Structure 1
Amino acid sequence: MKKSINQSTLSFILNGISILALLFLVFSLLSYSQISGKLDLANENRFALTSNANRFMNGSAYLTNEVRAFASTGKQEHYDNYWNEVNTLKNRDKGVAAMQEIGITSEEQDMIDNMSDLSNKLVPLEDEAMKNVQAGNMQAALDYVYGEEYNASITQINALKEQFLADLDSRTKAEVETLGRESRFIRTTMITALIVVAFIQLLIMIITKRRVLRPVIAVRDQMSEISQGNLSAEFLLKSNTSEIGMLVESIHETKRELKKYIHDIDSKLSEMAEGNMDLVIGDDYRGEFLPIQNAMRQILDSLNSALSRINITAEQVLEESRRMASDAEILSSGAVAQASAVQELAASIHELSTQVDHTSSDADTAQKCSTEAASLLMASNEKMGDLTAAMEDISNASQEIGGIIKTIEDISFQTNILALNAAVEAARAGEAGKGFAVVAEEVQSLANKSSASAKDITELIENSIRMIKHGTSLTAETTSALGDVVIGAKQATDLIEQIADSAMQQSQSLHQLKAGMEQIAGVVQTNASTAEKSAASAKELQNQSEELKVSVHRFRLRRHR
């Protein structure tokens, strides 16, 4: 990581310099205030010294002028002014005292002393001059105050005055100039300090903007991008050892960690979406991402467990569906075969019913014929004269009855065959054919009875034919034989009626059997259709199970260790 001074340290240094500059500025301000006070005081003292020096000198000059005016004019007011200055005003003494109070040098004091001595030397001369004026000797007085000695003293005093004023002015001026230079220096340093403070503050602003505000704004923008989920946004700030640099490094580290987590989660979820469940969730997640890691691990474990169970179940369902499909196909085939057999049986029963209907019709015809025969036999008793014709009719009727007997035998034979077939089919039908077996037995019984009756009728007709053949020779016996014939005819009529009733009952039973077979055929058809649908459903279930198996096999699961 690049080395860089901390913002806090840099800010501390710059602010420290600024504070020091401000402290220096405050100190300079105080110094400037003191120097300004001293400069003002120096100017005041200079003015006061000059004023008091002039007061001192003016006092001496005032005494000289007044004594000379008194000597020249003799006016009393000049005399009074002179002594008023000496005794009352005392400007020379007050001026010297004021200068001493303000402060003067020893050289200046020596010069004042010299001027005082010279002035004191003039006092006797001025006394003499005033005494001469009072004595009326004006000339003598003028000689004192305008004499060579007095003028020489005045000249010396004026020279000392000029030198004193020059020295005093030079000294005070030097003090004022020195204080002025100090004041200007302090003012310059103050301005310099202000410039330094302003520069440092400007530098702080620039540094704060460049090293704090701009990075903070960039960090804010980057964090806004991160908060919106954009981890690929460009972030040009480089990390360093400063606080902002460390913050930048934290953001880079955060983006790296988030990208790592997102990449890891994306790769794991992509592999899971592609069916790879044989994954291992690492332990490199930190902080608030640990629950996500744990949740992914739990999801993966749950999916492996659930898909393993689904895989096992799919295999079991596939195996069961295969067996179910096989059984359904067998059942469907059996149902179709059963439906075909039932249809054939129904067709046979329909044909048998038709034949029984014919038998019933023939039995009715036979009954009619038998009734007619009985009538003829009864008429034969009354019309023996017509015996030949009657015998002819009986012969014809016997031939017809022989045909009918033949038909009855055929019907009986066919009925017996149908009864046998029905018994066979009933045996094939099992439990469902029990009722049909009973009907078959009844039909067979009726067939047997029909056969027996046919045999009986055959025997009777054969006897009648023999009797008709021997009718001529047996005419005498016709009456008695005819009675037997009537009785036989009566029995035949009864038997034929029984045959007709049995045929009628057989026909009704066959109709019921036909209706039952039709119902059975409908049920068998329904069963066959249901079996076919079941087979189709089982096949579809098998296909779905295979698809489920293929779908589950997409997932690569963990091996049980």
Structure 2
Amino acid sequence: MKMKKTMNQSTRSYILNGFSILALLITALLLLFYSNMNSRLYTANQERFDLTYNANRFMNGSSYLTNEVRAYAATGDTVHYDNYWNEVNNLKNRDQGVAAMQEIGITKEEQALIDAMSNLSQELVPLEENAMENVKAGNMKEAVDYVYGKDYDAAITQINSLKSQFLETLDSRTFAEVQGLLQLCNVIKVAIFLALALVCILLVVSIRSTQKRVLRPLVIIRDQMGEISSGNLSSEFPLESDTSEIGMLVKAIHETKRDLKTYIHDIDSKLAQMADGKMNLAIDLDYHGEFLPIQKAMRQILDSLNNALAQIHVTAERVSASSERMASGAQVLSQGAMEQSASIEALASSIQELSHQVTNTSEDAETAHACSTQAAGALMVCDQKLRTLISAMQDISNAASQIGGIIKTIEDISFQTNILALNASVEAARAGEAGKGFAVVANEVQSLANKSAEAAQNTSNLIENSLRMIKQGTALTTDTANSMDEVMTGAKKATELIAQIAESAVQQAQSLNQLTSGMEQISSVIQTNSTTAEESAQSAQELYGQADELKRAVQHFQLREQSALGTGYLR
């Protein structure tokens, strides 16, 4: 918008102040001139007075001489004579009056009148001297004739006429000079009053101009700046800009309000769009001055938010995928833990059954030990009871058959225990870290099963030998006595082996008890793992749901063009 052209306030102030100063200078000069005129008027009045005084002194001196000489001629009194010569020789009022007037200043005309009066006075001197000489001589009548005669009177009349003319001329001239100076003083007074009036008018105009063009706008500007400082940029600002200083200030305020409104509107618009999720904005408005850091900060905020949200978006994708895999794995782990728990329960049941069987085996071993002891006793009395040898051998054969059945049972138990140990090892391997303890127990069970199988095999071999020997004893009853020693030896060995079998059966029972306790602990751990796996599966499912919600929330933001890695953006 084109600004209205107007005079600068400083120029207007300079002009008004210049005129005021000029008027004051003129007033000062008029005052000086008036003071000078007053001095001249006073001097003129003083000179007029002095001229009149000295003119009167001159004329009075001349009249005084006339009066004294006439008095002396009429009376003969020497006082008048002395006074006359005192005036002529000492007082010299006429000469001093003329000298004083000449010193003050008189015109040629006035000087001519003085000269005329002096000449006439000089013409009277011989008459006056003759009169005084006649008075001294006693000729009073002649003396009076000299000073009262026609010649003397005519001269006095002329002198008086010249005196009047001189006084009129002198008074007219001095009066005219005084009047001229007085009129000039009056003119100067009027000029001074006019200059003072002009100064007052200029001061009033300057004050009114300052009040109208400076103070009132400054009050409005002050109120407007107060509104701006309180954040009110929509308040009415009635002043219009022009080319003056105040107008330029008003223009600056209008531009400031416009720029502030533009910046605030732009910031409000950008923040509102950012609040709506539009992060693909560009700070395209150019900020100026102290607002440049705000523009830079907004760009940095947008850049940071785009980077952060892009990273969150990528992370949400990864968390969602990872949580989905975790949920699936947790479900599989929970299912495996439940299956392990069921397998461990079945294994614990089998081990309990095996424990009962081993207990029975231990009892049977003790029974076999008692039988072998009895057999040994029978062999010791076999010499007295040969008749009952066949029956005893049959009993031994039956006992050996029972022992063979027991050995078979032990071998079956050992085989089943070995299979269970293998299954337990497999389950422990599947359980990972949680199944390490169980793997140790399974290895111990397998070791015990191998030992049981080895003992059962040894026992089976011994039983077979015993049966073979019994068969030979039955067949060779006649050789019983000869072979009694050998039988006694075999019986002792059989007794020892059976004792060992009984001891091994007791150890197996103890080991199975420990195995049962370990299986119970493993079952408790697996049950805990199953519960934990179920909780982990539930937590993973919740994490997957939250990651999906985070991904949807991040997708609400409209980001700038993402890079392939999701770690930056393109403008």
Given the two structures, how large is their TM-score scaled by the length of structure 1?
0.77
Q: Name the structure 2 match of 1:40.
A: 42
Find the aligned partners of 2:516 and 2:251 in 1 and give their Cα distance.
Answer: 99
User: What letter matches 1:355 in structure 2?
Assistant: Q
User: Which residue does the alignment assign to 2:422?
Assistant: 426
Shift of 1:383: 7.3
Paired residues of 2:361 and 2:410 also in contact (CA < 8 A): no
Q: Are the counterparts in 2 of residues 409 and 454 from structure 1 also a CA contact under 8 Å?
A: no
Query: Counterpart amino acid of 1:363?
Result: A
Question: 1:62, 1:327 → 2: CA distance?
Answer: 161
Counterpart amino acid of residue 185 in structure 1: V
1:330-369 equivalence runs, <5 A: 330-369=332-371
Give the Å deviation of 1:259: 4.0
In structure 2, give the amino acid aligned to 1:290. L
| Candidates 8, 26, 29, aligned match of 1:27 | 29
Report deviation, 1:45: 1.6
Is the contact between residue 374 and residue 489 of structure 1 (CA under 8 Å) also seen in structure 2?
yes
Aligned counterpart, 1:416: 412
1:282 CA drift (Å) = 1.2
Structure 1 unpaired stretches of 5+: 468-475
Q: Which residue of 2 aligns with 1:287?
A: 289
* 1:534/1:447 CA distance change after superposition, 3 Å: farther
**Cα separation, 1, equivalents of 2:227 and 2:79:** 107
Aligned pair in 2 of structure 1 residues 141, 493: CA closer, same or farther (>3 Å)?
closer
Verify: 1:507 aligned to 2:503, yes or no.
no
Conserved in 2, the CA contact under 8 Å of 1:402 and 1:458?
A: no
For residue 561 of structure 2, give the secondary structure of its aligned residue in structure 1.
coil
Distance 1:530 1:268, change over 3 A: same
Q: By how many angstroms is 1:516 displaced? A: 5.2
Deviations 1:400-442 (A, max 9, x none): x979977984895597278347516724743655664554455
Shift of the 146–483 alpha-carbon distance from structure 1 to 2, 3 Å rule, reads same
Q: Provide the C-alpha distance between the structure 2 equivalents of 1:309 and 1:537, rounded to a whole number of angstroms.
A: 24
> Quick one: distance in 2 between partners of 1:479 and 1:409?
27
Aligned pair in 2 of structure 1 residues 315, 478: CA closer, same or farther (>3 Å)?
same
User: Which residue is equivalent to 2:561?
Assistant: 559
Question: What corresponds to 2:567 in structure 1?
Answer: none
Q: Distance in 2 between matches of 1:489 and 1:13?
A: 155
Aligned to 1:307: 309
The one-letter code sitting in structure 1 at the alignment partner of 2:338 is: V
Q: 2:459·2:497 contact (CA, 8 Å) conserved in 1?
A: no
Write the deviation string for residues 457-511 of structure 1: whole angstroms up to 9, x where unpaired: 99999999x99xxxxxxxx999989979x87987875675465345334334434
Q: CA separation in 2, counterparts of 1:453 and 1:131?
A: 225
Deviation at 1:270, TM superposition (A): 4.5
Structure 1 position 60, deviation (Å): 2.2
Of residues 39, 52, 55, the one that matches 1:53 is: 55
Change (3 A) 1:255 1:84: same
Q: Corresponding residue for 2:566?
A: none
Question: How much does 1:5 deviate?
Answer: 2.9
- 1:62 deviation in Å? 1.2
Q: Write the mapping of 1:149-188 to structure 2, written as runs, cut at 5 A.
A: 150-151=152-153, 153-155=155-157, 157-188=159-190
CA distance in 1, matches of 2:76, 2:410: 214
Q: Distance in 2 between matches of 1:477 and 1:451?
A: 28
Q: Of 262, 265, 273, which aligns to 1:260?
A: 262
Opposite residue 12 of structure 1, the aligned amino acid is: Y
Q: Structure 1 residues 47-56 or 546-555, which shifts more?
A: 546-555
CA offset at residue 456 of structure 1? 10
* Counterparts of residues 452-531 of structure 1 (less than 5 Å): 496-497=498-499, 499-511=501-513, 513-514=515-516, 517-518=519-520, 520-521=522-523, 524-525=526-527, 527-528=529-530, 531=533
Q: Which residue of 2 aligns with 1:296?
A: 298
2:548: which partner in 1?
A: 546
Q: Determine if contact 1:278/1:558 at 8 Å carries over to the other structure.
A: yes
Instruction: Tell me the alpha carbon deviations over residues 118-166 of structure 1, each in whole angstroms, 9 at most, x when there is no partner.
Output: 5456556545544543443323433443456644654554354345324
Report the 3-state secondary structure (helix = DSSP H, G, I; strand = E; otherwise coil) of the residue aligned with 1:182.
helix
Shift of 1:65: 0.4
Change (3 A) 1:133 1:347: same
Q: Give the match for residue 147 of structure 2.
A: 145
Report 1:57-456 matches (<5 A): 57-83=59-85, 85=87, 90-105=92-107, 108-109=110-111, 111-112=113-114, 115-116=117-118, 119=121, 122-123=124-125, 125-127=127-129, 129-147=131-149, 150-151=152-153, 153-155=155-157, 157-197=159-199, 200-201=202-203, 204=206, 207-208=209-210, 211-212=213-214, 230=231, 232=233, 236=237, 238=239, 239-372=241-374, 375=377, 382=384, 409=405, 412-413=408-409, 416=412, 419-420=415-416, 423=419, 426-427=422-423, 429-430=425-426, 432=439, 436-437=445-446, 439-440=448-449, 443=452
Question: Which residue type is aligned with residue 333 of structure 1?
Answer: Q
The number of residues matched between the two structures is 545
CA RMSD of aligned residues (A): 4.8
The TM-score with structure 2 as length reference comes to 0.76
Alpha-carbon separation, structure 2, partners of 1:510 and 1:94:
176
8 Å Cα contact 1:277-1:300 kept in structure 2: yes
Give yes or no for contact 2:414–2:450 (8 Å, CA) kept in 1: no
Worse-matched range after superposition: 311-320 or 104-113: 104-113
Q: Alpha-carbon deviation of 1:316?
A: 2.2
User: Alignment partner of 1:285: what SS?
Assistant: coil
Q: Secondary structure at the match of 2:557?
A: coil
Distance 1:493 1:104 in 2: 194
Name whichever of 138-147 and 528-537 sits farther off.
528-537
Shift of 1:454: 9.0
CA contact 2:313–2:554 (8 Å) conserved in 1: yes
Deviation at 1:334, TM superposition (A): 1.1
> Which structure 2 residue ranges, 5 or more long, are not aligned?
430-438, 563-569
Aligned partner of 2:11 in structure 1 is 9
Paired letter, 1:264: D
Secondary structure in structure 2 of the residue aligned to 1:70: helix
**Contact residue 283 and residue 299 of structure 2 kept, 8 A:** yes
Amino acid aligned to 2:548: E
Please identify, of 505-514 and 490-499, the stretch whose mean Cα deviation from structure 2 is larger: 490-499
Deviations 1:89-111 (A, max 9, x none): 55435434543453444554565
Counterpart AA for 1:419: F
Percentage of identical aligned residues? 53
Letter in 2 for 1:33: S
